[in-house]
C-alpha cells in the first residue's frame, strides 16, 4: 500500500472537522482565515456521553447555518487525556461578529428551543443541556492571531494565515487537519518580547520544514493572563512523531521565559459519530 493510499484510508476513518459542515457551505471560517477563535471546553457526564455529543453537534450546526460567513464552529474530542471532554473551536470573522452570536441566542427561535430542550431524565425530573456537563467544567478562551507583519491598517483584521507562506494546497488548518495540537504557555514576567519571538520561530520552523504535513499558527489570549497559544495542525497522528524527530519543539527559551509547568499540549481529534462508539440519536 502506498503512502498516499494509507493517508487516504486514515482520512476516511477520521474525517476532518470541515465534514461537520453542510457540503458546499459558503464562507467557511477556520484557524487560518478567522480574525478570532473562541476555544471552549466542557466535561461531559459519563452517563450522558451520547446526549452530550448530540447537543454539541446540534449547537455547531445552528451556528454554521445561521452565521454562515461570520462564524464557523467545529467540535473535537481530546485524542488522549480526559475521556468525554469536548472542545469547540468557534471561528469568528472579527470581534464584531460576537454580537451576532449574542443576537442569535436572543432572537433565533430554533436555537433557543434547542437550548431549552429536555434532553435527559434525572431523579429530580427532566433536564436540559446543563445536566449534560459536569458543573463548573465549561470555560472559554478568546484567541487572537499574533501578528509580526507590522500592519497598521484599521480596516482589515489580522488572520493567522498571514504567518506562513505555505501554498493553499498544502496549508493545514482546523477544518482540514486530521489532528489539531493545542499548545499553551504562560509568559514569564519581563519575557514578553522573547516569548513572542520564540512563538514566531516555532511557527516558522514547522511551516518551513513540514509543508503538506503540518501547519502552525500563534495566537495571543485576548482576556486573562499573558498567555500564548499555538494551533499546530497535523495531517495525521503519525506526523507528530516526525515533529519530535526533527526537534520542532526544542526551543523553550531561557529559564523564566515561560512559567514553570505552564507549557501544555492537548491533541484534538475532530468529532465523528463512530469515535468511542458514541451514537447519534434518531
Residue with cell 425530573: 125
Helix, strand, coil percentages for the chain (3-state, nearest 5): 30, 25, 40
The residues spanned by each domain of the chain are 3-20+28-140, 143-151+158-268
Instruction: Give 126-149 as a DSSP string.
Output: EE-GGGTB-TT--EEEEEEE---S
CATH number of 3-20+28-140: 3.30.70.100
Helix axes 49-66, 109-116, angle to 10 degrees: 170
pLDDT in tens, the chain (282 residues): 455 445 554 545 779 999 999 877 778 999 999 999 999 999 999 988 988 999 999 999 999 998 999 999 999 999 998 999 999 999 999 999 888 888 886 777 777 776 667 676 666 655 577 788 999 999 999 999 998 765 545 567 899 999 999 998 999 999 999 999 999 999 999 999 999 999 999 999 999 999 999 999 999 999 988 999 999 999 998 999 999 999 998 777 788 999 999 999 999 999 988 776 676 655
Predicted pLDDT at 5: 46
Backbone angles phi, psi at 159, to 5 degrees: -125, 155
CATH number of 143-151+158-268: 3.30.70.100
C-alpha–C-alpha distance, residues 198 and 184, integer Å: 13
Nearest Cα to Cα of residue 85 among 268, 272, 273, 281: 268
Alpha helices in 210-260 (DSSP H): 238-245
Check for a shared fold between 3-20+28-140 and 143-151+158-268.
yes
Amino acid at each position: 500500500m502506498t503512502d498516499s493510499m494509507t493517508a487516504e484510508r486514515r482520512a476516511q476513518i477520521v474525517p476532518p472537522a470541515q465534514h461537520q459542515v453542510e457540503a458546499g457551505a459558503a464562507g467557511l471560517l477556520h484557524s487560518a482565515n478567522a480574525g478570532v477563535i473562541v476555544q471552549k471546553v466542557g466535561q461531559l457526564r459519563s452517563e450522558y456521553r451520547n446526549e452530550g455529543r448530540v447537543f454539541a453537534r446540534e449547537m455547531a450546526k445552528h451556528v454554521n447555518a445561521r452565521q454562515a460567513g461570520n462564524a464557523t464552529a467545529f467540535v473535537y474530542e481530546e485524542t488522549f487525556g480526559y475521556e468525554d471532554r469536548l472542545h469547540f473551536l468557534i471561528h469568528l470573522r472579527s470581534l464584531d461578529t460576537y454580537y451576532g452570536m449574542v443576537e442569535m441566542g436572543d432572537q433565533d427561535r430554533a436555537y433557543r428551543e434547542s437550548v431549552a430542550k429536555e434532553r435527559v431524565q434525572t431523579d429530580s425530573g427532566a433536564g436540559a443541556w446543563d445536566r449534560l456537563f459536569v458543573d463548573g467544567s465549561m470555560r472559554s478562551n478568546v484567541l487572537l492571531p499574533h501578528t509580526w507583519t507590522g500592519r497598521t491598517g484599521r480596516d482589515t483584521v489580522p488572520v493567522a494565515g498571514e504567518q506562513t507562506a505555505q501554498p493553499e494546497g498544502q496549508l493545514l488548518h482546523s477544518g482540514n487537519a486530521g489532528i489539531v495540537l493545542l499548545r499553551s504557555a504562560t509568559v514569564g514576567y519581563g519575557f514578553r518580547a522573547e516569548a513572542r519571538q520564540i512563538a514566531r520561530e516555532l511557527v516558522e520552523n514547522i511551516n518551513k520544514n513540514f509543508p503538506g504535513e503540518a501547519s502552525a499558527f500563534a495566537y495571543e489570549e485576548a482576556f486573562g493572563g499573558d498567555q500564548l497559544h499555538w494551533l499546530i495542525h497535523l495531517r495525521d497522528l503519525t506526523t507528530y512523531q516526525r515533529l519530535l524527530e526533527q526537534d520542532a519543539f526544542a526551543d523553550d527559551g531561557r529559564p523564566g521565559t515561560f512559567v514553570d509547568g505552564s507549557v501544555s499540549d492537548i491533541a484534538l481529534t475532530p468529532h465523528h459519530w463512530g469515535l468511542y462508539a458514541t451514537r447519534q440519536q434518531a
